[in-house]
Amino acid sequence: MTEQTCGTTNIAGVSFSVYPMCDGFVDIIKDALKEVDTSKVYMKTDDVTTTVRGKLTHVFDVTKATFMHAAKTGEHVAFQATYSLGCPGDSSGDAYMAEDEQTINTEKVKTMKQPVGAKFSLYPLGGGNYMDVIYEQIEAMKQHVTVSSAHYSTRLDGEAVSIFDGLERVFTATVEGGSSHTVMTVSISANSPSHKGGVFNE
């Protein structure tokens, strides 16, 4: 269990996957990765998930960009991520903490229009006074996206870029609120046939 090896640095990380639901999924993933500048993060892909580690803002920057470039193909693309801060586990990504805060993928994706449905859950495992800041950030999200409650999560509907930016803000606020180990799970669905009339039992 990673809980046993929590460290003291504030390196953030994510374990995430992009799932294009089409025969050409390999090319979509490869093409998306080609468009993303990953020079400011540690990144390793295996057959189950991709791990990204570094400063929190770059972790969000890289995951957001990878999803945006995959979703722009118009195929049904799902995104699943567990963001984490406070349990580094090992030191393979520590060198990337020397990078500056300037995100390098924002410019390319910030004007992309991509409506999505998303669900997120925030698990502050390490104490702190964060509930007020979480609620403030969720209130702030309502200016840009539709917020509703769902089983085991909070549902967000709107533009993908706004949703990623809102998620980064609520995660940051939780950490700044004193949570020493913060975990957030995110599921996003783009271009789902369900959005165009519902093929499943909704």
Site residues for a second copy per CB under 8 A: 1-4, 13, 15, 17, 19-23, 25-26, 29-30, 44-49, 51, 53, 76, 78, 80, 82, 84, 87, 89-90, 117-119, 121-123, 125, 131, 134, 149-155, 183, 185, 187-189, 192-195, 198-202
CB of 134 to a second copy, least distance (A): 6
Minimum CB distance to a second copy smaller for 68 or for 134: 134
Nearest partner of 79 among 194, 193, 187, 153, judged by Cα: 187
| 178: three-class secondary structure by DSSP | coil
CB of 47 to a second copy, least distance (A): 4
CB of 107 to a second copy, least distance (A): 25
- Measure the CA–CA gap between 184 and 68, rounded to whole angstroms: 20
Residues 127 and 170: beta-carbon distance below 8 Å:
no
CB atoms < 10 A from the CB of 19, how many? 15
CB atoms < 10 A from the CB of 3, how many? 10
CB of 103 to a second copy, least distance (A): 22
Residues 85 and 175: beta-carbon distance below 8 Å:
yes
CB of 172 to a second copy, least distance (A): 16
Minimum CB distance to a second copy smaller for 109 or for 183: 183
Q: Please list, in sequence order, all residues whose beta carbon lies within 8 angstroms of the beta carbon of residue 135, skipping any fewer than 6 positions away.
A: none
Pairing of strands 50-54, 146-150: unpaired
Minimum CB distance to a second copy smaller for 109 or for 156: 156
Minimum CB distance to a second copy smaller for 3 or for 100: 3
Minimum CB distance to a second copy smaller for 17 or for 106: 17
